[in-house]
Structure 1
């Protein structure tokens, strides 16, 4: 099985992360894609890199969005 195309970087207690997760879950389910969620606070490098940008979404290893996930853009990126 291949790695998930979408990675969602989050932190606990983050309202925007909860909203982003809902969008990512919905779009991935519709398109038959998997996603991985990574807690930035568990890794000092990630915590420093993303500090106040969470949630951050990557598609195919490239940064796609931060703070909010645009459902239309995410669907388009996964459809290409």
Structure 2
């Protein structure tokens, strides 16, 4: 019998929209920075997220520390945010 290891949610969440050019750019920066695994959350159909992030997306949230990095960010800014 094998032990089942519970899935752990990624510590990072990228809040974004469908068809969002800035969100696409943020994904490119995350890839270039070799950011750890993150969850993508689309805010389009969620009133609470829409009111919180509507004009701010894309936003990267560190769920462990409860801090957020608003767009625009580049590779260096992202790496500094992740290293804090």
**Alignment TM class, shorter chain as reference:** 0.7 to 0.9
Secondary structure in 2 aligned to 1:63? Answer: strand
Alignment of 1:1-80 (within 5 A): 1-27=7-33, 30=34, 33-59=36-62, 60=64, 61-65=66-70, 67-80=71-84
TM-score, normalized by length of structure 1? 0.77
Secondary structure in 2 aligned to 1:41? Answer: coil
**Structure 1: 5+ residue runs without aligned partners?**
none
**Structure 2: 5+ residue runs without aligned partners?**
1-6
Q: Which has the larger radius of gyration?
A: 2
Number of aligned positions between the proteins: 76
Residue 44 of structure 1 and its aligned partner are, at CA, apart by 1.1
TM superposition outliers: structure 1 runs of 4+ over 4 Å: none
Kept in 2, the 8 Å contact 1:24–1:69? The answer is no
More helix as a share of residues: 1
CA RMSD of aligned residues (A): 1.8
